[in-house]
């Protein structure tokens, strides 16, 4: 069983504050972490490895610094890691990153499962998983909480609507794991040393993946940022319990806090 886990590195939100008043982001500490949801994805893969055995391979697209995230993934239990980076790949957008991952997964070959996070915190995109499933023309299960493999069949428990469902599919399957689906493990002491000192991260550039500049041309362009309105605290509601309740519910609906 070979499981591919795409991992994204993001700017640690604990290192910056967002000022609504100044409509600016103040970065106090520029540190990078694995997208928290991707740790949930890796955890699902590692649990399958723990129970039935599997080769878990982490892959990431980005700048050279993403090497760190991949070593952390290996310390956590991944068996191998691939970093897709060069000047073009470091600059590309979600569509370009998706193409690079697809080519790399093709090149690694023979996979049974691809397990991604549902979404990344820094873009909230939530599209790379299904995009890859379409690329490979394989089954997908989104919003996964737990997954197991037995007798060659994948079984997963997934959030669906206001409840959840249990589903089954034959590999190859792509899973996207729900944020907070599990409690990711801590890296294993012995593996930390090895991951940073001994093990290799294989690096591939665009050319090795058979991609040219046109393939990686961004399909979207940033037009800036917007910030939520500043908070106005302290409004008091008065009247009978019924009046107050009606007032409150109306406010919550108007502000889209509830539906």
Ligand X SMILES: Nc1ncnc2c1ncn2[C@@H]1O[C@H](COP(=O)(O)O)[C@@H](O)[C@H]1O
Which residue's structure tokens are 């509830």?
258
Element (H, E) at 136: helix 128-136
- The residue among 11 and 247 lying less far from ligand X, judged by its C-beta, is 11
Residue 60's closest CA among 112, 106, 6, 12?
Answer: 6
Residue 199's closest CA among 74, 91, 106?
Answer: 74
Scanning 80-88, 185-193, 201-209, 245-253 for contacts with other proteins by CB under 8 A, the matching segment is 245-253
How far is Cα 58 from Cα 206, in angstroms, rounded to an integer? 18
Contacts 24+ apart (CB under 8 A), 9-14: 9/33, 9/34, 9/35, 9/60, 9/62, 9/65, 9/66, 9/68, 9/69, 10/34, 10/35, 10/120, 10/121, 10/122, 11/122, 13/121
Angstrom CA distances, 138 to 113, 132, 174, stand at 10, 9, 7
One residue of 53, 109, 152, 234 binding other proteins per CB under 8 A? 234
Smallest distance from ligand X to CB 118, Å: 7
Restricting to residues 125-154, which ones interact with other proteins according to CB under 8 A? 125-131, 133-135, 138-143, 145
Smallest distance from other proteins to CB 143, Å: 7
- The residue among 120 and 182 lying less far from ligand X, judged by its C-beta, is 120
Smallest distance from other proteins to CB 238, Å: 7
Restricting to residues 96-155, which ones interact with ligand X according to CB under 6 A? 97, 101, 116-117, 119-120, 123, 125-129
Rg of the chain taking only CA atoms, in angstroms: 21
Restricting to residues 15-44, which ones interact with ligand X according to CB under 6 A? 35, 37-38, 41
Residue 16 CB: number of other CB atoms within 10 A? Answer: 14
Residue 27 touches which of other proteins, ligand X, none (Cβ within 5-8 Å per kind): none
Question: Does residue 179 touch ligand X according to CB under 6 A?
Answer: no
One residue of 2, 3, 4, 6 binding ligand X per CB under 6 A? 6
Restricting to residues 150-209, which ones interact with other proteins according to CB under 8 A? 155, 159-170, 173, 179-180
- The residue among 108 and 126 lying less far from other proteins, judged by its C-beta, is 126
**Tokens of residue 82, six digits:** 């691939």
**Where do the DSSP E strands lie in 44-95?**
55-61, 80-84
Residue 28 touches which of other proteins, ligand X, none (Cβ within 5-8 Å per kind): none
Contacts with ligand X, residue ranges (CB under 6 A): 6-8, 35, 37-38, 41, 60-62, 94, 97, 101, 116-117, 119-120, 123, 125-129
């Amino acid at each position: 069983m070979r499981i591919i886990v795409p991992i994204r590195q993001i700017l640690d939100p604990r290192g910056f504050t967002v000022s609504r008043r100044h409509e600016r982001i103040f970065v106090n500490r520029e540190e990078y972490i694995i997208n928290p949801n991707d740790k949930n994805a890796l955890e699902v893969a590692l649990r399958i490895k723990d129970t039935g055995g599997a080769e878990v391979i982490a892959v990431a697209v980005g700048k050279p610094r993403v090497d760190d995230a991949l070593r952390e993934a290996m310390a956590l239990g991944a068996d191998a890691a691939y970093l897709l980076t060069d000047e073009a790949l470091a600059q590309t957008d979600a569509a370009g990153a998706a193409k690079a991952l697809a080519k790399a997964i093709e090149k690694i070959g023979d996979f049974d499962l691809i397990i991604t996070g549902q979404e990344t915190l820094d873009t909230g995109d939530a599209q790379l998983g299904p995009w890859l499933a379409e690329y490979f023309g394989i089954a997908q299960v989104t919003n996964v909480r737990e997954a197991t493999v037995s007798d060659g069949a994948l079984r997963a428990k997934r959030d669906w609507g206001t409840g959840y469902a249990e589903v089954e599919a034959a590999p190859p399957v792509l899973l996207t794991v729900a944020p907070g689906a599990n409690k990711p493990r801590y890296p294993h002491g012995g593996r930390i040393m090895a991951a940073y000192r001994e093990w290799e991260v294989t690096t591939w550039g665009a050319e090795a993946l058979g991609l040219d500049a046109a393939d990686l041309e961004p399909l979207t362009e940033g037009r800036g940022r917007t910030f939520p309105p500043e908070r106005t605290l302290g409004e008091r509601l008065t009247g009978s319990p019924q009046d107050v309740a009606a007032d409150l519910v109306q406010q919550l609906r108007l502000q889209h806090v509830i539906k």
